[in-house]
Amino acid sequence: MSTSKNRALPGLLTGLLVLLHALILAPAASAHVGSSGVIVQKQVGAYRLLVSVQPPDVVPGTAKVTVYVEQGRVAQIGARPVYFRSGDEGAPTHDILTRVENGRYEGDLWLMDSGSSSVELELNGPDGKQTVVVPVMSVATAVRDMPEGTGIGLALMGLLLVVMMITIIGASNADGITKPDQAASAGLGRRRLVGMGAGALVLALLLTGWRSWWTSEVEVYKDQQLYRPTSILTSVAPANGTQRLSIRIDTTGFGQNWQKKRLLSYVLPDHGKLMHTFLVRMPGLDAFAHLHPSRRDSLTYEASIPALPAGRYLLYSDIVFRSGFTETLTDTIDIAGSAPTASAPAPSDPDDSWLVANPMGIKAGAEGVPHLDNNMVVCGKPGASMKLTDGSSMIWMDKPQSVLDAGKLYTLKFAVADAQGKAVALEPYLGMSGHAAILRSDGTVYIHLHPVGTYSMAAEGSFVGRLADTARTFRYPDANQFRDSIDRYVARLNTLPDAEKNKLLMAGMPAMDHKMAVNNMVEFPYAFPRAGHYRIWVQVKRNGQVLTGVFDTEVKEPLL
């Protein structure tokens, strides 16, 4: 809130605080970059659902919940917020969503506190009763200036109220000591002026105190409630014939500000990895790597950088905490570059993958210039195809139009065919049928997608376990024992053959089951948050090899 606007509000009364408080908060994303909200697509029992949860502008505030029932007979859907801290015992009863049209239900759900939270959906109907848990981060993420017109209107209202109050105090002071039959006199006017002066002084003191309190509340909000991503310190250094990436979490300020604190010993593996790091070279977005740094200690993660060309890279690292809180840590690094050689060291993680492709072809400052990415027609709709490193092709299926609309929910479908055009079977990659990373050309939007949606499977598992826990307050286990047990689990996974590893991962993530009717396809639900040019990396596995397809698309603001 700007100082000039603070000066414009000296006459506001306490009754207007709720409106003012609501106007200074605005939504943003915490777990990813530039993509607010959570999208979930999954099968639960006889129901196939597509769920969208948009976080509130205000905490306390309301989240918008939309549920599309794609399959199954539903009579009623209830929704309630569940916080990790208080669990099922501290959660309210379900609010019933409104049926807007066939198969579509909507409702507003109050999130009353900041922290790691989830939305529990309860479905009832002829096809049975089922429960779905959607992890949602309930955090204040921005400060919004009050609109100028609103500030002027409230200031005028406050000034009018102050003038009226001073007048009433002055009149009461004069009339209170005047007998009914006493004639008007010059002294009466003086008493009224004295009363008005005293009233004005008292009101000035009250309003000065109120302003001081409000300014203090704004500062507390900015310093302690406003979400700030955890800072990291990254470095690249030569090591054993390759380049070593080090990501160190910056703990500066942890002791002075509770909002900055993270329980760093309580990081959970998400589909078998403690950290997923994506590197993308700017400005062409032509070099890409998906790495899984190993944990050296509670603060430091390390990975070998593969044979990537030299340049400046954007870094996005996803981590999940025991509470279900997810974060994307970001930075920019410079890589000296190296050419692939037969004697190059093996990757530091067996599931690391990378690709060097053609540049996106968008010059700096020309993000608004239209371009087309379709080079084929699939079933009468625009599509795109790309040759993969093993000779097969990946095809973007069922693309509704060449240029997509921002804010519209899409299911992005991709299929793989061999050199003869025949469908080929895909293998699980880290316990699921595929991964995708989407990046806007300027790096301001990033998302790590899975077939079940935009959320973390580890976060979902954390909340499902918390709902089953009857304790009102969660008690963390010993930090050293927890960290050591997680490190042993991750190290063991890395030694297992792919089939055994995927079987173990899928058993630990039953809620992410998202089987495709055809085993050469993978799909991802997503809504592009704003207009621009985007690059999509789609990763699948075939014959033990991770294959990466690259697709570009333009997104425009929808016509009103």
What's the CATH number where 350 sits? 2.60.40.10
- What is the Cβ-side half-sphere exposure of residue 115, based on CA atoms within 13 angstroms? 14
Give the E-state strand segments of 459-544 in sequence order. Answer: 521-526, 532-542
List the one residue out of 260, 261, 265, 295 whose CA is nearest residue 277: 295
pLDDT at position 341 is 64
In a domain, 90, yes or no: no
> Residue 343: what are its φ and ψ, rounded to 5°?
-95, 10
Q: How many residues does the chain have?
A: 560
Task: State whether 232 and 353 are in the same domain.
Answer: yes
**What's the sign of the alpha-carbon dihedral 19, 24, 30, 32?**
positive
Task: State whether 236 and 200 are in the same domain.
Answer: no
Q: Is the Cβ–Cβ distance between 314 and 298 less than 8 Å?
A: no
Task: State whether 250 and 208 are in the same domain.
Answer: no
Task: State whether 215 and 294 are in the same domain.
Answer: no
Beta partners for residue 77, in sequence order:
123
Number of helices followed by number of strands (H, E) in the chain: 7, 29
In a domain, 31, yes or no: no
pLDDT at position 405 is 95
In a domain, 332, yes or no: yes
- What is the Cβ-side half-sphere exposure of residue 181, based on CA atoms within 13 angstroms? 0
Task: State whether 353 and 269 are in the same domain.
Answer: yes
Q: Which of 225, 249, 284 is the last residue of a domain?
A: 225
In a domain, 132, yes or no: no
Task: State whether 14 and 160 are in the same domain.
Answer: yes
Query: Where in the sequence is the domain holding 236, given as residue range(s)?
Result: 228-359
In a domain, 401, yes or no: no
Gap between the Cα atoms of 170 and 190, Å rounded: 10
In a domain, 119, yes or no: no
pLDDT at position 317 is 97
Give the E-state strand segments of 255-310 in sequence order. Answer: 267-268, 276-281, 287-291, 294-295, 300-305
Q: How far is CA 546 from the centre of its chain?
A: 27
pLDDT at position 27 is 35
- The tokens for 390 are 């093993």
Give the count of beta carbons closer than 10 Å to the beta carbon of residue 3.
8
Task: State whether 158 and 21 are in the same domain.
Answer: yes
In a domain, 306, yes or no: yes
Q: Which of 359, 392, 420 is the last residue of a domain?
A: 359
Task: State whether 209 and 346 are in the same domain.
Answer: no
- Number of structural domains (the chain) is 2
Q: Which of 335, 359, 383 is the last residue of a domain?
A: 359
Task: State whether 215 and 343 are in the same domain.
Answer: no
List the one residue out of 527, 539, 555, 34 whose CA is nearest residue 288: 539
pLDDT at position 517 is 63
Coil, strand or helix at 17 = helix
Task: State whether 211 and 149 are in the same domain.
Answer: yes
In a domain, 15, yes or no: yes
Task: State whether 282 and 320 are in the same domain.
Answer: yes
Task: State whether 278 and 347 are in the same domain.
Answer: yes
Segments of the chain with pLDDT less than 50 = 1-30, 178, 362-382
pLDDT at position 4 is 36
